[in-house]
């Protein structure tokens, strides 16, 4: 599956099975994940995605670890390192 294939509304889940939130948007390197309640959105780096199946994105860390990563702050830049659009087609 490619990053470009991810859709808003999909679940984002830790490797412990606990739901972290819902996909809000996707960039070349991050999945912006909306959390429930008043919690800030998380910018989950693509490198932490372990698997994707049935509209669920599974991370390679636990829910609690994801909450402690400091991903509430937007990345300073989100530019692909290669040609424009290359990272959008990265398979995860």
Give residue-wise pLDDT tens across range 59-89. Answer: 999 999 999 999 999 887 655 444 444 555 5
Residue 57 lies in a domain: yes
Residue 89 lies in a domain: no
Please calculate the CA angle 92-50-3 and round it to the nearest 5 degrees: 30
Residue 35 lies in a domain: yes
Residue 85 lies in a domain: no
List the CATH number of the domain containing 47.
2.30.30.240
Total domain count, the chain: 1
Residue 36 lies in a domain: yes
pLDDT reported for residue 63: 97
How far apart CA 21 and CA 86 sit, in angstroms, is: 26
Give residue-wise pLDDT tens across range 17-63. Answer: 999 999 999 998 999 999 988 899 999 999 999 999 999 999 999 99
């Amino acid at each position: 599956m490619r990053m470009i294939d991810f859709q808003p509304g999909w679940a984002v889940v830790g490797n412990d099975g606990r739901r972290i939130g819902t996909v809000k948007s996707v960039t070349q390197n991050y999945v912006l994940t909306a959390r429930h309640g008043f919690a800030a959105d998380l910018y989950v780096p693509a490198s932490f995605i372990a698997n994707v199946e049935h509209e669920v994105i599974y991370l390679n860390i636990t829910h609690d670890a994801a909450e402690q990563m400091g991903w509430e702050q937007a990345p300073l830049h989100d530019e692909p390192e290669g040609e424009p659009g290359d990272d959008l087609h990265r398979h995860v």
